[in-house]
């Protein structure tokens, strides 16, 4: 079972992954076909899968994800403003993935109530964007 605070946190992670997938999908659509677009397509696919993993985790805990209006990206944009070019977008993404996402995964590993058996493993690749 998951408490109200944990459900909100897990839903926030899920919402942030959905927002990231949508953002990178829109960005990929604006690019000309080639390696960068291919890599961007992979990235939004990964973000989408991460959202699915969070959803599965929440459901395994016997709950339903909350519909949240704000994501990590919204908070970042409110604090720092819009990135001005693709390099800033990629730099921000790198910082987020290395400094924010990794501790999120680690925090769930420390709390057995937050990650039911099988919700994250090496076969799914969840949390392995290092």
Q: What is the mean pLDDT of the chain?
A: 81
Range of the domain at 83: 4-110
The rounded percent of the chain whose pLDDT value lies above 90 is: 46
Task: Kindly state whether residue 29 falls inside one of the protein's structural domains.
Answer: yes
Structural domain tally of the chain? 1
Please check whether residue 114 is in contact with residue 6, taking contact to mean a CB–CB distance below 8 angstroms: yes
Segment 3-47, tens digit of pLDDT:
999 999 999 999 999 999 999 999 999 999 999 999 999 999 999
Q: What pTM was computed for the model?
A: 0.73
Hey, what are 51's tokens? 């959202």
Report H helices in the chain.
Answer: 4-30, 35-60, 72-80, 86-95, 102-110
Task: Kindly state whether residue 127 falls inside one of the protein's structural domains.
Answer: no
Least confident among 3-17, 43-57, 95-109: 95-109
Q: What are phi and psi of 111, to 5 degrees?
A: -115, 100
Residue 99 DSSP symbol? I
CA angle 22, 26, 24 (to 5 degrees): 55
pLDDT tier at 89, thresholds 50, 70, 90: confident
Task: Kindly state whether residue 117 falls inside one of the protein's structural domains.
Answer: no
Please check whether residue 53 is in contact with residue 120, taking contact to mean a CB–CB distance below 8 angstroms: yes
Task: Kindly state whether residue 130 falls inside one of the protein's structural domains.
Answer: no
């Amino acid at each position: 079972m998951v408490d109200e605070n944990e459900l909100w946190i897990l839903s926030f992670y899920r919402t942030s992954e959905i927002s990231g997938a949508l953002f990178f999908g829109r960005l990929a659509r604006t690019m000309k076909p080639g390696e960068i677009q291919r890599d961007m397509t992979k990235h939004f696919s990964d973000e989408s899968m991460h959202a699915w993993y969070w959803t599965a985790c929440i459901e395994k805990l016997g709950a339903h994800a909350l519909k949240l209006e704000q994501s990590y990206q919204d908070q970042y944009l409110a604090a720092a403003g819009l990135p001005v070019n693709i390099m800033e977008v990629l730099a921000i993404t790198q910082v987020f993935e290395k400094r924010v996402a990794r501790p999120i995964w680690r925090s769930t590993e420390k709390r057995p109530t937050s990650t039911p058996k099988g919700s994250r493993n090496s076969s799914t690749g969840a949390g392995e964007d290092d």
